[in-house]
Amino acid sequence: MTGNEACAEAALAAGCRFFAGYPITPSSEIAEILSDRLPRLGGKFIQMEDEIGAMGAVIGASLAGAKGMTATSGPGFSLKQENIGYACMAEVPCVIVNVMRGGPSTGLPTHPSQGDVMQARWGTHGDHPMIALCPRGVRETYDLTVRAFNLSETYRTPVVLLLDEMLGHVNEKVVVPTRVRVVERKVPDSLRGPYLPYARTESDVPPMVSFGQGYRFHVTGLVHDESGFPTNDPAKTDELLRRLDRKVRRHADEIVQVEEHMQEAAGVGVIAYGSPARSANHAVKLAREEGVAVSFMALLSIWPFPEKHVRRMGEHVSDIVVPELNLGQIAHEVEWAVGGRARVHRLSRVDGEPITPHQVLLKVREVTGK
């Protein structure tokens, strides 16, 4: 199956029963598949008038108790940002799939890119956390789509799944799991008495009751108190915004996911994510065959940024190569994380073509002088 097909099937396995979207290359197959599959499972599919409406519909469906998802690409992701910020402030679980293509603007609709990495983190205004996952292959797309739903429900927050055109359309043999771990949103221990939709909890994640379960509560994008009603109280404003940040930051060790292949006495490391991680992995194998000791790290989650893992690599190597399909968006984060412990070398490609193993290998040779 393709990456887009795996994403759609995994969403269903994770319990997704609502999809709202608007067709856009190279993500359209996700919507096409779910338009056929969802009704057969008692779910709902709706093609909205635009990406703004699609994001709003997903938020509404989630508030009514359904696990909701939308899928888009760069231009549509830009349009969704205001409502993504609303979902962050109102703490509405949902999944946003962005099959990245070249930009800015309408850019390169049928070519891969990783130009939306920073937008996934900082696309909306204000201070709030974001969770973003980034698979390397079709089976990993399946697994991380399920994980995106589970993280969204666990931390009551939107989660972004970043593919790129190449991953969305590549065909690979996939062994689909017969059973997956599915997380449901936490509800109050008792539904007797008043319900505070944003009550303080030990985990910083308030239990969530769906509309229609017998409780009326207020939802707003404004700063609000525990009851959900707007407030300008400085103390309550500070408390809310710090809790929104803390509920993800304090659980970063459970959210962050990397795959490390560290090698003792390695002088150079390679850090990659998404489809370039496939090329990087092969290049590292070729370099080792040439007698070059290279460490490799694949980032399966990029937000929250895995700073502890990257810093640890920076403490053991003198140079780090970061191949990516942009002008250095994650390389910038790597530089910040290593804090001068290692030199960071950017390997950027923005011509619409993939980074090849040979390009990565040449960069490793250049850095090591071999």
Q: What is the pLDDT of residue 191?
A: 67
DSSP E strand stretches across the chain: 16-21, 44-47, 67-72, 94-102, 108-112, 131-133, 158-164, 258-261, 268-272, 294-299, 301-303, 319-324, 343-348
> Which residues, in sequence order, are CB contacts of 193 under 8 Å at separation 6+?
none
- CA 274-90-60 angle, to 5 degrees, is 85
Taking the CA atoms of residue 245, residue 251, residue 257 and residue 261 in that order, the dihedral angle to the nearest 10 degrees is 120
Q: At what angle do helices 275-289 and 357-368 cross, to 10 degrees?
A: 50
CA distances in angstroms from 80 to 141, 157, 197, 293, 335, listed in the order given: 22, 15, 24, 44, 30
Q: What is the pLDDT of residue 189?
A: 79
Query: Going from the N-terminus, what domains does the chain have, and what CATH number goes with each?
Result: 1-255 (3.40.50.970), 258-368 (3.40.50.920)
Q: Which residues of the chain have pLDDT under 70?
A: 191-193
- The structure tokens listed for 76 are 């549509």
C-alpha closest to that of 29 among 37, 40, 17, 41:
37
Q: What is the pLDDT of residue 188?
A: 86
- The structure tokens listed for 158 are 């939107």
In whole angstroms, give the CA distance from residue 33 to residue 48.
16
In whole angstroms, give the CA distance from residue 279 to residue 164.
14
